[in-house]
Structure 1
Amino acid sequence: MKACILLRPLLIRLFLPLLCVVLGLADFPEEAVASNEQNKVRIHIGELQHDIKIQLDKIQQKNEAEREIL
């Protein structure tokens, strides 16, 4: 009986972190979905930035060509 009383704090210290880890992993799929959505948004933003850069380069080339004509 005394052994149980002495081991109780040790068991609680071992069990609670394990329980927290298990509960944390239970939420993992939602985090993975959110992360996947964030990655899609980042990719889309990168594509938009690339398109804008191409358009700016075309405008710059057009402006340089007009300057040469003048």
Structure 2
Amino acid sequence: GPTDLGIMHFRKLMMEAARALQNGEAPPHAAHQDRYTVRSGACVTSKAKDLTAVMVERFGDPAGFVGGPGKQTAAE
């Protein structure tokens, strides 16, 4: 289901970071810790709305990313 997507993304992220560390490279995600904020969310909405519409309404991103994927932060 939709919650499995977050788990799959996290596992992929961790495996990539572990492989990079094994090759002596610092994981690039460590430099951007502000992008990986954990937050919970709840929403009561109409059954007429699809999940994408609810996620955009609630979080501002179709997948619920903090700041949206690939968006630059003010610190960069």
Relative to the length of structure 1, the TM-score reads: 0.34
Larger Rg: 1
If each structure's helix is expressed as a fraction of its own residues, which one has the higher value? 1
Q: Relative contact order: is structure 1 or structure 2 higher (C-alpha 8 Å, sep ≥ 6)?
A: 2
TM normalised by structure 2 equals: 0.31
